[in-house]
Structures are given as structure tokens and as C-alpha cells.
Structure 1
């Protein structure tokens, strides 16, 4: 018998999505963990009967995936395993959030084809050559060397179709090509990969804080390009943190721009209003170099310092709180709360705690002008299409 799902059920799913968390990336030890934004006791009981067995859940996920996708059962199995390993609630609406991202990023291809990848690879090598004073002719000559798979490196570059192939190519070139370590050592242009286009840096950091649950021969970078690894790390970055949003659209924006970017963009908006100086709403509150906050103050930090008297905070205290920008704790910090309190007093009304990050997307793979907002709304549209399949699937 088909069970009818109303708006209340969809709302329940959003609440579950906003509150689910089992682990987070490391936080400063002098800031104790705070409770999730939505505690389990605050989540109403689901309207529809729960799925009781793993088999029922896998069948439902397969039905929520578009019927045109090949190997739906295999995709459903790996997505179910990712949710189970991460402790993410098994709910149709939350499955749809992950499914929407997979559709947008790869259309359910474990190793999606990247148009124009050979040209991108050649350009990257030439740029590295310029950096180290190696002539283009010398690079092309070096690429005539036979690689471990029997083809020359030039042949492999010209035949490139996927990031997994490019990743393997760079690993071989660093190890085998003359001057390869000088030219490419510590450098790999492949920063994202797999069916959810996960950041490899995120995957490696996440695996250091929580052991990767599957047996594997290669490193974590290699696992990102697999279906099971891509879904595991993609589900983690999308769902395995407490997001303080009342609309899943902003979680999709965070997936593209970085965790808590939508919350941080709202903070930038409130701070700029209070300081009388518009700030870029990009979700980055500090300056970073290779993933580490630099000592040089950002525009956000300077704006906050200019209000130190009103905020009743010293520069060191402002810096302390800004260092929490990628953690849930920032929402509860003195800086966050005082900025919003003063900005709301000035505005005479409540101000939103979420805003769309204003970021232009830049990548060799992107050939037209795209933004984080474009990405989030595209995924949101796919998410709502998936929600429409829930009633027919239960």
C-alpha cells in the first residue's frame, strides 16, 4: 500500500538533515564541543513508517535514483554503506540530498569524463616548466619516454579522459620521468575527484580524524576516485556536520564553497552593516595559505577590530573567535553573538544567520561563468525532483 507523504514529512527530513552529526573535523582543545543545533529530542516523529531493515533502505535508495542510471542497485548499496558507516540518519529526504549532489557532479559516473583534459594537462606541465625554467621543448621530449603501462607519457596525456587517469599519470611521471621530482614533486593538479567531486584534501584530513572504514591497497587519494570512497567522503562533507540552516539550499552552497560558508557569509553581511563598510560575502573570514590561517589580517578581521570598543573585545579575542570559522562553535562565540546583537539593534529587525556565498567558480574544467549560487540552486532543483519520487517509492 502506498503511504502518502505530506509537507510535514519533508519538513522532518530537513530537520534531520540539519541536525545530523556524528563527528567533525578537529576543533581547538580550549573550546569544548557544543551540542548540535537540533538535538534528537527536538525532532518530531516521522509521519511515514520507518524503514526497518537494511534491505528495505537499499531498495528505497535505488528507487530514488533516476531510472536512467546504470547499476542503480550497486550505487544504492554504496550510498547505504556510506550513511551507515558515518552514522547519518537513514531518511528518504536525506538520501535525496546526496543523490542530488551526485547527479549534479557526475550524473552517477564513478570517474566522470572531463572534456578537454589533454589540453589542461599540457598547459599545467608548461606552467610548471616556466616556474622552474625548463623549456617547453625539453618537457615535450621528456614525455616521449615509455611509461609503466607501455605507452609513452605523451600518448597517455593525449588520451586522457578522466581525473583518475590524470592522477595516475602524475604519480608515474614524478617517479619515472627525468627531472620529474624537480618539476612535479609535491604537485598534483587533481584536487577533486570521484562521483561527488570531493576535495582530496578534505578526504585526507577526514581520514586522519576518523579511520577509513574500507580495506584498500592504495592511499586515500586513490579511494576518492572509487564509487564507494567517493560516496563515503562526499556524504561526509555534505551531511556529517551540524548546519544551522532552515533551508537545505545553504547546505548545498556549503558543499561547493566549504563548510559553514553560508553562515559565515551572513556574519560578513552583518559585520559590514555594523562597520559601515561592505564586505565580500565569500564565507572566508581569515586569509589562508595552503589551508592554514595566516597572520596577515583579512578585511573581516580589520572590520571587527575597528569595532573592538563596541564589541568589548581585544584584538586577540577577535582573532581567537575568527579561528573557529570552519567549526560549529563559531555560531556560539562572543564575536558572532555580539556582532549580530549590535547589527540587529542598528537595523531594528532580526538579521538572517544564513546567506548565499558570492563566489565565482574558477577551474580549468569550467569553461563558462558559474557561481556557488548557480551550483546550489541546480542541486536544489535536483533535490526537489528526488523528493517527488519519495511518495511513489514508499
Structure 2
């Protein structure tokens, strides 16, 4: 959250030898100058303004959904259905349904899926076969044996091979792997209980993220959270939580888009790494990863900060405790964060940026060209601006 200081008018000039006196233009002074009836009117007006500020008008669900419909691209099918699902997620999480937030959500969904609940993925069948062959090689099972086994019929009557050849979307692929994992012993040996489809839905949200944030989910869960992610309502809900469901001090929305791709607070943490580089004199990757979670082994950022321990007057243990808050807003309140930036600001000669687009190259079997988190964030931000241009 950014705070702005109020700009005050300068005091009236004083006569020589007299102290400067600020003009008394407050409500009390105005009341003294007014007739009694005018004073009463002014008091009522002030009271009315105050009550309006304390109790803003609440938007009705129908009005919010109507507003969302006006912001959706013109070619969107079932506009009312999209508006209802988006509104439900905003209401369930207490997120302000203003144009900025709505357009940010629509921009991500448009970038990730073209605003399709079950978007087709070109070449998905080949991607699936490649993953199966890779797992077979790891398990030392000849590919020919695996392919022969997949000619048997799956629970829906079609062979696994036929379903893989025809698969169009991640929802369909996830269902195939769920069936395949249940096929003993081949499926269990290759995949155990791990379905290799990790994201889904119109906002391509992580299924692991959805499972961690299922509390407060406003719909009955049909089957599993994984199944819910592949629905429009579930995919939008968890995608909105991922994009807007955490507090930040970012000056621009583009940093949330980068976080959506790289993880919460990745942009804030990349700026911290940049400050460490300036003070330490190193070349940390600006990837937003501050610590190896779940491991006692120190990562590159932790080792770099430890090298500055004497200058920071912090022990290795204190540094570790602070870095472990890297996925929370209150990392910014730690001595580590504040001391690093104090040194960096002094070295730089002016305040360093507190948010930077992470320098991460995107890797996925679905990506066929070199893309980065910064590219993703900028593309989404362009879509957000186009959406805001539709706001009337």
C-alpha cells in the first residue's frame, strides 16, 4: 500500500518581527464566522459527508455481474455464466469487484486459455506420449512394452492409445492419466499416485495451489479439487485467489501478473535479490527464490546474504528465519529486508526499486519458443489495458 503525504498550503506571510501564522480555515473557524442557521447547515453537511465515507454503498450482485459482462470480450460465449462465476469468487474472497481487478482477471484468463473453460492444446497427444516414454525409460521398461499395454481398453471403452491420440485438452488428459494410474501394475509403476498434469482450467492455475487454498471454496466439491480446477467455476475461483488473494505493496498491477506466473511475491523478492547484488557485488539470478524451502541446504541467495552478515549485524540463523518469510508480506518488516535496502539505497544514491519483473525463462512441454515471465506479464498487462478501454 502506498501512502501519499498531504500537500499543505504555505502560511500567510508575517510582518517583520512577527511569527508566521497559518490561516484558520478549519470547520470550527467557519462556524464562528457563520450565522447560527448557516452553522447548523454546515454541521449537517459535514456529518453527511463523514457518514458517506464510513459507509460506502454496496454494489448489488446483479449490477456487478452486469458490469463484468460489459468488460468481457465481445466474442465470449455464455457471458452471463462467466460473470456469475467471477462474481462468486470475488464475493467469497472479499475482493473489490472494481474495473481494475475484473480486467486483471479477464486478462490472465484470456492470455492463458482465450477465455475457454476447457481450452484445446495443440499437440497434446504427442506431449502425453513423450511423457509416458520418459517415465518408461526411467523405470527401465521398454517403450514397446508400454505401448502394447496401452492398446487395452480403458474404463470408457476406448483403448488408452486411442484416447491419447485423440486428446485435446488438459482436462481430458488428466482423466486419461487418472484411469491409467489405476491400471495395475503398469500405471502404478510408471506414475504411482502422481498425475503429471499439474495445471488446469481457464486461468491455468496449479492444482497443488488449489488444494492448499480450498478452505472457503463456495461450491460443493464434485469428486476432487483436481476435478474442480478443470471446471470454469473452480478454475476461475482458484485463479482469482492466486492473482488477487494476497496483499502487496506493488505500485503497478504488472507485478501481480509476474507473480501469477512465478509465485507470490516473486517480483518483490527479485527486487530484494537485485539490492543484494548491488551491496554484495555478485550476480544472483533475479528469480524471486530466496530460500530452499523444505531443505536445510542454503541456496544462492541465502549464501550471498550470509556473506554480508557482519555488515547487516545478523547471524546465519537470523538471516534464514527472515528469508523463510519470503512468501509473505511481512518479509518487508524484517530487519534483513530493511537493512539490505538501506545499504542498497545508500550505495545507489537514491531508493532502489522495491519490485522488479523476475528474470525467469518459462519451461513447459506446451511452450515451443523462448518465453519469459516478463514477457508473460507484459502480454497480460496489454490485455488489461484493452479491457479497461471497454469500461463505460
CA distance in 1, matches of 2:221, 2:182: 22
- 1:205-354 equivalence runs, <5 A: 205-207=212-214, 210-287=215-292, 292-354=293-355
Check if 1:98 corresponds to 2:105.
yes
Higher RCO (Cα < 8 Å, 6 or more apart):
1
Cα 1:294/1:362, change in 2 over 3 Å? same
Q: What is the match of residue 87 of structure 1?
A: 94
Check if 1:140 corresponds to 2:147.
yes
Check if 1:200 corresponds to 2:207.
yes
Asked if the contact 1:114–1:162 (Cα under 8 Å) also holds between the matched residues in 2, the reply is yes
Q: What is the aligned counterpart of 1:162 among 163, 169, 184?
A: 169
Q: What is the aligned counterpart of 2:61 among 54, 60, 75?
A: 54
CA distance in 1, matches of 2:341, 2:58: 41
Q: What is the match of residue 75 of structure 1?
A: 82
Q: What is the match of residue 381 of structure 1?
A: 382
Number of residue pairs aligned between Structure 1 and Structure 2: 342
Q: What is the match of residue 25 of structure 1?
A: none
CA distance in 1, matches of 2:270, 2:83: 34
Structure 1 consecutive aligned stretches of length 4 or more whose deviation exceeds 6 Å: none
Asked if the contact 2:93–2:241 (Cα under 8 Å) also holds between the matched residues in 1, the reply is yes
> Which runs of 5 or more structure 2 residues have no equivalent in the other structure?
3-51
Q: TM-score, normalized by length of structure 1?
A: 0.84
CA distance in 2, matches of 1:79, 1:307: 46
Q: TM-score, normalized by length of structure 2?
A: 0.85
Q: Secondary structure in 2 aligned to 1:114?
A: coil
CA distance in 1, matches of 2:107, 2:86: 12
> Which runs of 5 or more structure 1 residues have no equivalent in the other structure?
1-13, 16-43
Deviation of the 1:177 alpha carbon: 4.7
Q: Secondary structure in 2 aligned to 1:296?
A: coil
Asked if the contact 1:223–1:230 (Cα under 8 Å) also holds between the matched residues in 2, the reply is yes
Q: What is the match of residue 371 of structure 2?
A: 370
CA distance in 2, matches of 1:293, 1:351: 30
CA distance in 2, matches of 1:340, 1:66: 42
Deviation of the 1:50 alpha carbon: 6.0
Q: Secondary structure in 1 aligned to 2:203?
A: coil
Q: What is the match of residue 34 of structure 1?
A: none
CA distance in 2, matches of 1:338, 1:269: 14
